[in-house]
């Protein structure tokens, strides 16, 4: 996307007000391909020359930028996070570090629209990587001259802007229900333990969940369990048939609905809490999730493997 020329610029009258407003929510809900176009357009507007874009089946994409006016030529790598990892974790940053090292320790910009975990922020600072999320991108777009901001906005939101594009065939994906999981015996549900930084995109149904002190987990979909024990940091929405326990050092961001909630000294619950009274839908009757899939016919090789779960 190039900047508009003079013939496309609207006439700005005295006292004109900004008629569009970029928001964090708008950018986080965009198709990954449209968000990528916004980032490339910002690069051009800022005076950089973007190279060709490499796109991965995960919806991740990256391209090099160069400053043609720089005395010493040098490149930087801009990377958009995979669809299922729009919140950056330590693993995302360390993987990007390895990519930058392979390119000769060049500077890097990592775009994670949903933000980043504290561990990822620390890792990025220590390695000189710039993290950009939807909030920062929206602020930058709102700082543009009105005619440019409106031009980029109109190009970005026209048509169906929130349906993701298949990264294989570049056609719109379709929302489809996942296979019906049916009924499961509660005793057959797993006991889950999380000990590292992670983002969990799929729905979680478990008998017991424990997040260890070293764990830093963001659950993108509702979590359903009989019991949840938090010793580390978690973010998400939790429904507990029995209890939720926050031990010293345990922090929860989000919402909790449980029969009982216990926050021990040194623990923190930052969000809404609801104590359950009446009967719940049996935990063994799992909700039927949905996902984005490429269902075009004829398909291209690899299209059938592309599955994007909702953010």
Domain boundaries, the chain: 6-157, 163-178+290-311, 186-275
Interacting residues of 280 by C-beta distance below 8 A, sequence separation 6+: 239, 241
pLDDT for residue 9: 35
The answer to whether the CB of 30 falls within 8 A of the CB of 162 is yes
Cis peptide before 146 (omega within 30 of 0): no
pLDDT for residue 113: 96
The answer to whether the CB of 134 falls within 8 A of the CB of 113 is yes
257 three-class SS: strand
CATH of domain 6-157: 3.40.1340.10
CA–CA gap between residue 63 and residue 44 (Å, rounded): 13
The answer to whether the CB of 175 falls within 8 A of the CB of 290 is yes
**E strands, the chain, in order:** 49-50, 54-55, 61-66, 75-80, 108-111, 130-132, 174-177, 191-194, 197-200, 204-211, 216-219, 223-230, 233-246, 251-263, 268-275, 290-293, 307-308
The answer to whether the CB of 38 falls within 8 A of the CB of 161 is no
Tell whether pTM > 0.75: no
Q: Among residues 192, 153, 199, 186, which one has the least CA distance to residue 283?
A: 186
Q: Among residues 165, 176, 138, which one has the least CA distance to residue 27?
A: 138
pLDDT for residue 180: 58
Tokens 């075009």 belong to 296
* CA-to-CA separations, 296 to 3, 43, 106, 163, 184, in angstroms, rounded: 33, 33, 39, 14, 33
Interacting residues of 157 by C-beta distance below 8 A, sequence separation 6+: 26
pLDDT for residue 200: 86
The pair of three-digit structure tokens given for residue 82, joined into one six-digit string: 């995979």
pLDDT for residue 8: 38
pLDDT for residue 93: 93
Tokens 């938090």 belong to 230
Q: Output the tens digit of pLDDT for each of the chain's 311 residues.
A: 433 343 333 333 334 444 679 999 999 999 999 999 999 999 999 999 999 999 999 999 999 999 988 877 789 999 999 998 898 888 899 999 999 999 999 999 999 999 988 788 999 999 999 999 999 999 999 999 999 999 999 999 998 999 999 999 999 999 987 665 555 567 778 899 999 888 887 788 899 999 999 999 999 888 999 999 999 999 999 999 999 999 999 999 999 999 999 999 999 999 999 998 876 665 545 555 788 999 888 889 999 999 998 87
- DSSP single-letter state for residue 64: E
Tell me the CA end-to-end span of the chain in Å, nearest whole number.
Answer: 26
Q: What Rg, from alpha-carbon coordinates, does the chain have?
A: 22
- DSSP single-letter state for residue 145: -
């Amino acid at each position: 996307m190039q900047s508009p020329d003079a013939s496309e610029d609207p006439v700005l009258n005295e006292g004109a007000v900004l008629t569009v407003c970029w928001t964090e929510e708008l950018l986080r809900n965009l198709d990954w391909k449209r968000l990528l176009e916004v980032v490339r357009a910002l690069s051009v507007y800022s005076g950089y020359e973007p190279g060709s874009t490499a796109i991965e089946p995960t919806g991740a994409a990256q391209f090099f930028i160069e400053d043609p006016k720089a005395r010493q030529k040098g490149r930087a790598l801009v990377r958009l996070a995979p669809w299922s990892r729009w919140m950056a974790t330590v693993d995302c940053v360390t993987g990007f570090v390895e990519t930058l090292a392979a390119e000769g320790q060049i500077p890097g910009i990592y775009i994670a629209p949903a933000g980043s975990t504290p561990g990822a922020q620390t890792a990025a600072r220590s390695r000189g990587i710039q993290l950009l999320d939807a909030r920062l991108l929206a602020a930058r777009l709102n700082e543009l001259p009105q005619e440019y901001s409106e031009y980029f906005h109109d190009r970005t939101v026209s048509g169906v802007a929130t349906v993701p594009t298949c990264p294989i065939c570049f056609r719109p994906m379709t929302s489809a229900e996942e296979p019906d999981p049916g009924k499961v015996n509660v005793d057959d549900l797993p006991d889950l333990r999380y000990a590292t930084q992670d983002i969990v995109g799929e729905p979680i149904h478990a008998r017991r969940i424990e997040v260890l002190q070293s764990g830093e987990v963001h659950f993108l979909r509702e979590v359903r369990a009989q019991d949840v024990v938090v010793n580390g940091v978690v973010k998400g929405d939790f429904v507990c048939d029995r209890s939720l326990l926050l031990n010293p050092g345990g922090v929860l961001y989000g919402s909790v609905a449980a029969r009982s909630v216990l926050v021990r000294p040194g623990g923190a619950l930052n969000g809404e809490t609801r104590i359950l009274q009446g009967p719940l839908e049996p935990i063994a009757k799992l909700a039927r999730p949905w996902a984005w899939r490429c269902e075009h016919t004829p398909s291209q090789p690899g299209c059938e493997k592309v599955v994007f779960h909702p953010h």
